Amino acid sequence: MLRMIQHAGRWFFHRADALFNQVFGDRLNPLYYLGAITYWLLWVVVATGLYLYIFFRTGIEEAYSSVEYLTVQQWWLGGVMRSVHRYASDALVLAMLLHLTRHFVFDNYRSFRWFSWITGVMLIWLTYASGINGYMLPWDKLAQFVVIATAEWFDWLPAFGGTLIRNFIAEGAVNDRLWSLLSFIHIGLPLALLAVLWIHTQRVAGAHTVPPWPIAIGTTVALIALALVRPVTSQGGPADLSAAITTIDLDWFYLPAYALLYRWSPAELWWLIGGGTLLFLAAPWLPPRRRSTAGFHVLVHPDNRIIPVREGEHLLEAALREGMPVPFECRNGGCGMCKGTLLYGSVDYGLYQDSALPAEERATGKLLLCCATPLTDLEIEYVPTGMPGNVPVRVFTARVAKMARLAHDVMQLTLKVQGDQVPSFYAGQYINIFLPDGEKRSFSFATAPHQRDHIELQIRLVPGGRFTTRVFNEMKEGDTLQFEGPLGSFFLREDSSKPIIFVAGATGFAPVKSMVEHAFYTGMKRRMYLYWGARRLHDLYLADLPRQWAREHDNFVFVPVLSEPAPEDRWGGRTGLVHQAILADFPDLSEHQIYACGSVAMVETAHPAFVAHGMSEHDCFSDAFKLAPQLRAKSAEMVRLGGAP
């Protein structure tokens, strides 16, 4: 039954979305911004309410007369404000209920989304309490009806037991202080509403809290127009407790329960509202349950990060939660902004508009990150909006200015960017070099960001590698390359005072060199330890450089570690695996930041060992640390920062 309702709801929204896309365009479709529109309407209600509050007077006579003054004598502003206040509140309920319905029919309320759902239920209560309370203030016939109906309804509760209505039983029972109380509640409840709304949206990564301006302006102008065409007025003169309410123009957005109250009994209404609330609160855990999965891992390019995706979570949500600069707009499969490429694995593509992802594009591996959920571990690629610090990702052309062999299998490539425009980047980031067929290979900056005249790359020869063999066999100085960058979230965090341990494996030294040189340049005084692990001595292709740093800087320590030193290396230094050397020197890692760059095998081995020795996940920076064991080997190789084949 529930599935049928959800299916029908999805069908409806899908078609309504398509229709609205034709009219509003896929990026300004109000149906994609129901939550944000609700937010906006609340601000409109708050703003107009503040104006009304300036003129509102708390007293039996004054409450009605001050609202009448606003409505009649100051109709051109106060009256419009009152009308917009009322209509925006009504529109808020409409938008909120549509927002709720949309998430319900798309089944976006189970699993990890339970928190947003529960806070959403709280918001419904607070919205209705605020709105109904507001209807009591003008002290007209409608206020009289609402006050008495509320008292009669609440009097069913044992806590009141018939005493509440005694406060409104006849003229003289009500005094001026009632409006002080009502005004206080009418400020307190919306404040609570805002607080819960803030919590409600905080848990949603990248939540829209403001609709696109054309929608915000369009909605507001429409409400003002409505206020002018059909201004809100008080009903039937001031409240008169000796007269009964016969016919009333009810606000059906806020007060339908009050009509039901007199068709049913207060007890039945309490059972309906209370039972409905409990049902809503329990909904995330009620059947039918979707198949349970433990979630999946996704290798994301160009960040080269591996992120966890929770059960039922869309790829976009997971990426935003991990702070990735994924472009998005509608989040409902309408605009196509979040289009990415599926490189490996299978997904449930979800429900989306064909215009956002035509069949031929889907056949080439495209998917919409806002709609797709993984069915296996995945490898995907997207085009980032920007990088840390909003450094834009751009495509550059560079000339190979210099080539120098640092070791038998490591080439130092010095690039001069065309127009001498070395991109701004963060120490530790990387670039993607384009191959003639459009494929990309990632290499870290080995130069620090302040070195503006050239880019240095350290490229290790991978037998059979398309690009690296070209570098070693065909490339010559004067050749040109195209690359995009800067990319990656692996960069030096300068907002901490903790000592730093750099763990480099082979050409993982390149980004470490960038970070260390940047640290020296900026005068960073934090203690830095570089553990550079390699198999043989000749693999430490630039060992003299960190030795020189250690001589020149008191806060820098260099510890080379060889795993398989040969006799001819005459090695007298540390041996074994690099992470074991670190653990021997630092039994407690809880007060250190660790930056690791090297082979997947190295970080996969080191990570659990570091965690066991107190390393905090917040102080550990290596995309490879988040590797899932399920990933195929080829993909895993691609996250090797500092050089891929």
Partner 1 sequence: MNAPARYFVQGLLYAAFVAAVGYFSSAPAYQHLKPDQALVRLSFSHGAQRKQPCRERTPEELAKLAPNMRAPTVCPRERAAVTVELEMDGKLLYRIIAPPSGLAKDGASTVYRRLAVEAGRHDFRARLSDNARGEFNYSAQRTVEVATGRVLLIDFNAAQGGFVFR
DSSP H or E run through 309: strand 305-309
Q: Which is nearer to partner 1, 22 or 73 (CB)?
A: 22
Smallest distance from the beta carbon of 241 to partner 1, in angstroms? 7
How many other C-beta atoms lie within 10 A of the C-beta of residue 528? 24
SS3 category, 334: coil
Under the criterion CB under 8 A, does residue 162 sit at the interface with partner 1?
Answer: yes
Smallest distance from the beta carbon of 174 to partner 1, in angstroms? 14
How many residues comprise the chain? 645
Per-residue b or e along 133-150, where b marks 16 or more CB atoms closer than 10 Å to that residue's CB: bbbbbbbbbbbbbbbbbb
Smallest distance from the beta carbon of 251 to partner 1, in angstroms? 5
Residue 535: partners with Cβ closer than 8 Å, 6 or more residues away:
562, 563, 564
Q: Which is nearer to partner 1, 2 or 173 (CB)?
A: 173
Select from 13, 24, 56, 532 the one that contacts partner 1 (CB under 8 A).
24
How far from the centroid of its chain's Cα atoms is residue 11's Cα? 27
SS (H, E, C) 541-571: CCCHHHHHHHHHCCCEEEEEEECCCCHHHCC
Smallest distance from the beta carbon of 166 to partner 1, in angstroms? 6
* Range 516-575, binding partner 1 (CB under 8 A): none
Per-residue b or e along 598-618, where b marks 16 or more CB atoms closer than 10 Å to that residue's CB: bbbebbeebbeebeebebeee
Peptide bond into 423 cis (omega under 30): no
Q: Which is nearer to partner 1, 32 or 472 (CB)?
A: 32
Select from 246, 364, 390, 473 the one that contacts partner 1 (CB under 8 A).
246
Q: Token match 């005068």: residue?
A: 523
Smallest distance from the beta carbon of 197 to partner 1, in angstroms? 21
Under the criterion CB under 8 A, does residue 157 sit at the interface with partner 1?
Answer: no
Under the criterion CB under 8 A, does residue 382 sit at the interface with partner 1?
Answer: no
Smallest distance from the beta carbon of 398 to partner 1, in angstroms? 43
Select from 61, 176, 249, 477 the one that contacts partner 1 (CB under 8 A).
249
* Range 194-233, binding partner 1 (CB under 8 A): 218-219, 221-223, 225-226, 229-230, 232
Under the criterion CB under 8 A, does residue 18 sit at the interface with partner 1?
Answer: no
Under the criterion CB under 8 A, does residue 161 sit at the interface with partner 1?
Answer: yes
Determine the Cα–Cα distance for residues 193 and 310; give it in Å rounded to an integer.
Answer: 29
Piece in contact with partner 1 (CB under 8 A), picked from 251-259, 424-432, 552-560, 600-608: 251-259
Q: Are 314 and 368 in contact, with CB atoms under 8 Å apart? A: no
Piece in contact with partner 1 (CB under 8 A), picked from 163-171, 346-354, 365-373, 632-640: 163-171
Q: Which is nearer to partner 1, 46 or 94 (CB)?
A: 94
Q: Which is nearer to partner 1, 171 or 453 (CB)?
A: 171
Under the criterion CB under 8 A, does residue 155 sit at the interface with partner 1?
Answer: yes
Under the criterion CB under 8 A, does residue 163 sit at the interface with partner 1?
Answer: yes
Smallest distance from the beta carbon of 43 to partner 1, in angstroms? 17
Under the criterion CB under 8 A, does residue 242 sit at the interface with partner 1?
Answer: yes
Q: Which is nearer to partner 1, 93 or 515 (CB)?
A: 93
Piece in contact with partner 1 (CB under 8 A), picked from 58-66, 237-245, 510-518, 522-530: 237-245
Strand 440-444 relative to strand 430-434, pairing: antiparallel
Under the criterion CB under 8 A, does residue 250 sit at the interface with partner 1?
Answer: yes
Select from 17, 26, 68, 251 the one that contacts partner 1 (CB under 8 A).
251
**What's the Cα-to-Cα distance from 608 to each of 512, 582, 614, rounded to whole Å?**
22, 13, 10
Tokens of 106: 């798309």
Hey, what's the torsion of the CAs at 623, 499, 485, 434, to 10 degrees? Answer: -60
Residue 543: partners with Cβ closer than 8 Å, 6 or more residues away:
532, 560
H-helix segments, 304-454: 315-321, 359-363
Under the criterion CB under 8 A, does residue 243 sit at the interface with partner 1?
Answer: yes
Backbone angles phi, psi at 288, to 5 degrees: -80, 130
* Range 80-99, binding partner 1 (CB under 8 A): 86-87, 90-91, 94
* Range 106-145, binding partner 1 (CB under 8 A): 145
Smallest distance from the beta carbon of 78 to partner 1, in angstroms? 18
| Burial tier of 278 (Cβ tally within 10 Å: 0-12, 13-18, 19+) | exposed
Determine the Cα–Cα distance for residues 500 and 534; give it in Å rounded to an integer.
Answer: 20
Q: Which is nearer to partner 1, 24 or 56 (CB)?
A: 24
Taking phi over 0 as left and psi of -120 to 50 as alpha, with beta for the rest, 428 belongs to left
Residue 524 one-letter amino acid: M
Under the criterion CB under 8 A, does residue 247 sit at the interface with partner 1?
Answer: yes
Under the criterion CB under 8 A, does residue 241 sit at the interface with partner 1?
Answer: yes
Determine the Cα–Cα distance for residues 594 and 334; give it in Å rounded to an integer.
Answer: 41
Under the criterion CB under 8 A, does residue 429 sit at the interface with partner 1?
Answer: no
Under the criterion CB under 8 A, does residue 2 sit at the interface with partner 1?
Answer: no
**Mask: binding to partner 1, 270-309, rule CB under 8 A, as x and -?**
----------------------------------------
How far from the centroid of its chain's Cα atoms is residue 510's Cα? 31
Under the criterion CB under 8 A, does residue 159 sit at the interface with partner 1?
Answer: no
Smallest distance from the beta carbon of 219 to partner 1, in angstroms? 7
The residue ranges that bind partner 1 (CB under 8 A) are 20, 22-25, 86-87, 90-91, 94, 145, 152, 155, 161-163, 165-166, 169-170, 218-219, 221-223, 225-226, 229-230, 232, 241-253, 259, 262
